[in-house]
């Protein structure tokens, strides 16, 4: 049986382990930081499916506790800016990385891990129709995504057995396969619609806060680290969480993890119009097209209809970074 643990003291029998982390007052250079209040150890055996948007179970967060997650990266410069913001507030989060993005930017994968964040996976190519795919392709997307992120991280132990289905497009077949692989399946409790075209940073903050408040003042929040609006919204979002008395919890996997992984030279970027622009990558043309025209699809089961309506309401307006991919990406 798993136990609740604070520091090295065992408090009570339970399903997860909690460890004290950097609180606001102990953040170097920022005594007013939000900080990370504790970690919660997530084992697929105890939590095979996480997130009340789609499942009856989620993580046992206390009142005014939030767990922040980021999907779809890494992608400079936005992942870099988000990491800078998180570091300034001593906030630790969970990333669900796309395999081919990790392959393109292994330096960012290693920066994420060495910054103390948790790394999960999000398939190899982020296919739009995950819930409709056959089992061989599901297996390939999951396995190749994990392999790519592990290779980019430089140590397989740095990658948690956490998986989030692209677009939250679940199916019974997908869920059964993930369970057979002992992967904790993550949905979410709240989203901030940060993939909508034209959404402003202020709107992202407002949606995130309002939905957390409406969901019992707690939850797993899903964001994306590939959008400029999200990168710009994050400082205000963390500030607002702090002002409203929220505490951040980080999810970590069971087992031994390396203290760090070898760093790599940073990806090449060039400043343009106030934001750096990527000038070199190893993504295929097909993947670039998928990223540029990203859509969030969800399964069409009866249980998912309400979620599908929420996520698909503006799916025709979804976007990623608002720059010209064709002009700045080169294939290797």
Domain that residue 320 falls in: 23-328
The strand pairing partners of 185, in sequence order, are 49, 163
Residue pointed to by tokens 């969800």? 298
Separation in Å, CA 201 to CA 33, 193, 195, 197: 20, 11, 11, 12
Q: Which residues pair with 41 in a beta bridge?
A: 252
Say if CB 77 and CB 21 are below 8 A apart.
no
Q: Would residue 17 count as lying in a domain?
A: no
Q: What is the pTM of this model?
A: 0.81
Query: Is 128 contained in some domain?
Result: yes
Q: Please give the Cα distance from 264 to 110 (Å, whole number).
A: 7
Which stretches within the chain are classed as H helix? 78-89, 99-104, 106-114, 135-153, 172-180, 201-214, 228-243, 285-292, 305-312, 325-328
Q: Is residue 209 part of a domain?
A: yes
Burial of 53 (0-12, 13-18, 19+ CB in 10 A): buried
Contact 91, 35 (CB under 8 A): yes
Q: Classify residue 92: in a domain, yes or no.
A: yes
Cα(262)–Cα(274) distance, integer angstroms:
30
How far does the chain reach from its first CA to its final CA, in angstroms?
49
10 in any annotated domain? no
Is 154 inside any structural domain?
Answer: yes
β partners of residue 12: 4
Note whether 22 and 276 are within 8 A (CB): no
Does residue 215 belong to any structural domain of this protein?
A: yes
Domain presence at residue 4: no
Q: How far apart are CA 250 and CA 35, in angstroms?
A: 11
Domains held by the chain: number: 1
User: The CATH number of the domain where 183 resides is what?
Assistant: 3.20.20.370
**Closest CA relative to residue 157, chosen from 253, 246, 227:** 253
Tens-digit pLDDT string for the chain (332 aa): 222 222 322 223 334 444 445 555 589 889 999 999 999 999 999 999 999 999 999 999 999 999 999 999 999 999 999 999 999 999 999 999 999 999 999 999 999 999 999 999 999 999 989 999 999 999 999 999 999 999 999 999 999 999 999 999 999 999 999 999 999 999 999 999 999 999 999 999 999 999 999 999 999 999 999 999 999 999 999 999 999 999 999 999 999 999 999 999 987 654 444 454 443 444 444 444 444 444 343 334 444 545 554 555 544 344 443 322 222 222 22
């Amino acid at each position: 049986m798993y136990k609740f643990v604070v520091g090295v003291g065992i408090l009570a029998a339970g399903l997860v382990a909690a460890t004290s982390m950097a609180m606001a007052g102990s953040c170097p250079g920022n005594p007013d930081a939000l900080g990370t209040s504790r970690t919660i150890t997530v084992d697929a055996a105890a939590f095979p499916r996480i997130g009340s948007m789609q499942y009856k179970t989620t993580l046992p967060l206390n009142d005014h506790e939030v767990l922040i997650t980021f999907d779809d990266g890494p992608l400079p410069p936005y992942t870099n800016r988000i990491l800078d913001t998180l570091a300034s507030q001593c906030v630790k989060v969970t990333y669900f990385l796309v395999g081919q993005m990790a392959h393109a930017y292994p330096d960012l994968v290693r920066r994420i891990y060495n910054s103390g964040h948790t790394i999960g996976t999000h398939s190899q190519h982020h296919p739009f129709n995950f819930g409709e795919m056959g089992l061989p392709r599901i297996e390939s997307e999951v396995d190749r995504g994990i392999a790519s992120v592990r290779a980019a991280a430089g140590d397989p132990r740095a990658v948690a057995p956490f998986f989030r289905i692209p677009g939250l497009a679940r199916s019974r077949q997908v869920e059964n396969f993930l369970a057979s692989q002992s992967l904790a399946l993550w949905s979410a409790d709240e989203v901030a619609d940060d993939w909508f075209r034209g959404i402003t940073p202020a709107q992202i903050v407002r949606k995130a806060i309002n939905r957390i408040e409406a969901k019992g003042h707690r939850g797993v929040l899903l964001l994306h680290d590939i959008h400029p609006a999200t990168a710009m919204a994050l400082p205000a979002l963390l500030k607002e969480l702090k002002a409203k008395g929220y505490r951040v919890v980080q999810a970590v996997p069971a087992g031994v993890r390396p203290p760090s992984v070898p760093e790599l030279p940073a990806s090449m970027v060039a400043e343009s119009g106030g934001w750096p622009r990527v000038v070199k990558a190893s993504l295929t043309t097909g993947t670039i097209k998928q990223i540029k025209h990203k859509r969030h699809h969800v399964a069409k089961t009866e249980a998912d209809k309400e979620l599908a309506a929420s996520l698909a309401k503006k799916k025709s307006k979804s976007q990623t970074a608002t720059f010209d991919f064709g002009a700045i990406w080169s294939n290797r």
